[in-house]
Chain A
């Protein structure tokens, strides 16, 4: 039919928050069961490899949050969508929280595997830290400016710049000649299969759904806060 627009059958925004919260709970619990009771011990690292399932899933979720933040920033700059600035901010906030979890779980894993909490000679670790600090500085920039179009525009430009660091961080390990950090994802696919792959997929889904649920909760709170402030201004 000419001129007809294609509407998505299932819009993520329409999923009720309670359903999302329940899905997160079920998925995280299932992922934990798979991690501790189903996945086999790794031949080289043994039990400690079980950190991998959440560490890598959380890392990819953090990247996804930063990419979403950049996409919303782009929407703000391009279409001037009034919702985009707030959505970009919340995505970056989620990414920073998940980024902190990546650094902490990675540090614990490094202590078991390498005997050190942090190895400065590892490009991937340092680049991820730079990426994380870059996004921490996003909040310093945002809250140093008064609310308004200037703050929204500068924050959007900053979030767009940050997304460039993601492929750099991801490619660093593949470019490094000497490395300690394991390479599990190659151009020919993941270097694992069977229950390890299944467990990883469950953990990845759990983290993505959890991040989206937390995003929806935070954005609902922020919007309510904004509406209340406007109401207060009207009543004053």
Chain B
């Protein structure tokens, strides 16, 4: 591999690496958002169950 070929390869690897890092960061963020949605769903379900169990006023 000549020096010129090494540099050209390096340039394309840099582009690929930056795009890859960007996509990875986005994937991590989507993972965090997914966890937050699950947490909110859980909280909504818990709130719904406790509302059902609440004793009705008698008399």
- Seen from chain A, the residues whose Cβ lies within 8 Å of a Cβ on chain B are 32, 46-48, 50-51, 54-55, 58, 97, 100-101, 104-105, 108-109, 111-112, 210, 214, 217-218, 221, 224-225, 228, 231-232, 235
Q: Is the interface of A mostly helix, strand, loop or mixed?
A: helix
* Contacts A46-B4, A48-B8 given; does A97 touch B26 at CB 8 Å: no
Of residues 1 through 52 on chain B, the ones whose CB sits less than 8 Å from some CB of chain A are 2-5, 7-8, 10-12, 14-15, 18-19, 22-23, 26, 29-30, 33, 36-37, 40, 43-44
Instruction: Please name the residue on chain B nearest to A214 by beta carbon.
Output: B22
Min CB–CB distance A236 → chain B (angstroms): 10
- Asked if A48 and B4 make an inter-chain contact with CB atoms under 8 angstroms apart, the answer reads yes
Interface residues on B, range: 20 to 34
Interchain pairs with CB closer than 8 A, number:
66
Choice from A47, A108, A224, A231 contacting B5 with Cβ under 8 Å = A47
Evaluate contact between B2 and A221: CB separation under 8 angstroms: no
Residues of A within 8 A of B15 (CB): 54, 58, 101, 104-105
